[in-house]
Amino acid sequence: MTDLAVNRRGDTAFWLVKIEHDVYPWRRLVEDKSTVWDGVRNYTARNNLRAMRAGDLVLYYHSGADKAVVGVARVTREAFEDPTAKGEDWSAVELAPQFPLTKSVSLAEMKKSAVLAKFMLIRQPRLSVLAVSPAEFDEILALGKTKLPES
């Protein structure tokens, strides 16, 4: 896992979660208002879930056919025992939608960006939960023609 200090801007760290569009699309997260992010069965991804803090921002990426970041969520509950993994050492977090991107940012667009040349989504495409640097987060918002709302 990368040094978490690198990924923080003030009190906020940045992450990306991947989900198949037909499994749990962004619009459903918006409708549900929050969700438990469970079912992760990769040690690196699990450790990333455990490093998330309430208030951290999370890029919401549709994998599969779409392959695009479509929105930003916020961590509302830090890591807890994954309810789908009885007796096993896996973790889950709770996420709530914050805002959609004005324009989805495709993986193809990200691969063209010099700022994203070392982005973990490109280097380790199978990882379902990954850390994102502040510069990478900003670049994806810029590609998505989206500004971070004032808090």
pLDDT tens string 48-91: 999 999 999 999 999 988 999 999 999 999 999 999 999 899 99
Q: Tell me which residue of 48, 35, 32 sits closest to 77, measured CA to CA.
A: 35
The mean pLDDT of 102-121, rounded to a whole number, is 97
pLDDT score of 11: 86
97-113 in b/e form (b: 16+ CB < 10 A) is: beebbeebbebebbeeb
Task: Confirm if 122 and 92 have CB atoms less than 8 A apart.
Answer: no
pLDDT score of 10: 82
pLDDT score of 23: 94
Tokens read off for 81? 């025992």
pLDDT score of 8: 77
Look up tokens 């940012």; give the residue: 105
pLDDT score of 77: 98
Rg of the chain (C-alpha set): 14
The mean pLDDT of 34-45, rounded to a whole number, is 96
Torsion angle of alpha carbons 45, 49, 52, 58, nearest 10°? 70
pLDDT score of 125: 87
The mean pLDDT of 125-140, rounded to a whole number, is 95
Torsion angle of alpha carbons 14, 18, 22, 25, nearest 10°? 0
DSSP 11-55: TEEEEEEEEETTTS-HHHHHHHS-EEE-----HHHHHHHHH--TT
pLDDT at 14 over 50: yes
Which domains are present in the chain?
9-143 (3.10.590.10)
